[in-house]
Amino acid sequence: MSATLRATVYLLALTHHAPASHLSIVVVEMLYVTLTAGIYAGLQQRALRIRPRLLGNLIIVAAVPALAQLFDALTHRAIGAAVPMHAFLGVCLFAAVSALFHLHVMRNGVFLTGCHGRSLPEDFRRIPALLAGFLLKPFALSSRLARTAPFEASL
């Protein structure tokens, strides 16, 4: 799933470039992500146990995606499938949002392996509700902050 989504982000970002360059970039992305996604997901799952929790969260949403993006860029460069900067930045933005969503679902017990994991069909059944919760989280957070902020009357 991740490889397909990331390749789609690259394709969208490359719509104004020569079609011949698209294929090599997309193929490299599909292969790289397919071969490495489990490694990075495993690193993120291990970071769930890190205390303080904020440090674990930072590793999940910043360190692991940054490491993945670094090796992704190096792979594209080594293969000769040059990625324009705007396409790379688009994929970095996608990776950041994806990492936040991954943190959200993992903290809710989805897409985990080992003794904490459930079946893949069960995980997929829970995704719509988790996606809705993820999309609504900024609104819930801002509402909570508005309720707890001290009221200042202005005259």
Global confidence as pTM: 0.78
Tokens of 124: 């997929």
pLDDT in tens, the chain (155 residues): 777 777 777 777 767 666 666 677 778 888 888 899 889 999 999 999 999 999 999 999 999 999 999 998 899 888 887 777 888 888 888 889 999 999 999 999 999 988 878 899 999 999 999 999 999 988 888 887 777 766 555 54
CA distance 125 to 128: 7
Answer yes or no: are the C-beta atoms of 61 and 48 closer than 8 Å: no
CA distance 46 to 64: 11
CA distance 132 to 137: 8
**Alpha helix ranges (H) inside the chain:** 2-13, 19-47, 53-58, 64-79, 85-107, 120-148
- Residue 140's Cβ-count burial label (10 Å; 0-12, 13-18, 19+) is exposed
pLDDT in the model for residue 124: 93
pLDDT in the model for residue 152: 55
pLDDT in the model for residue 79: 85
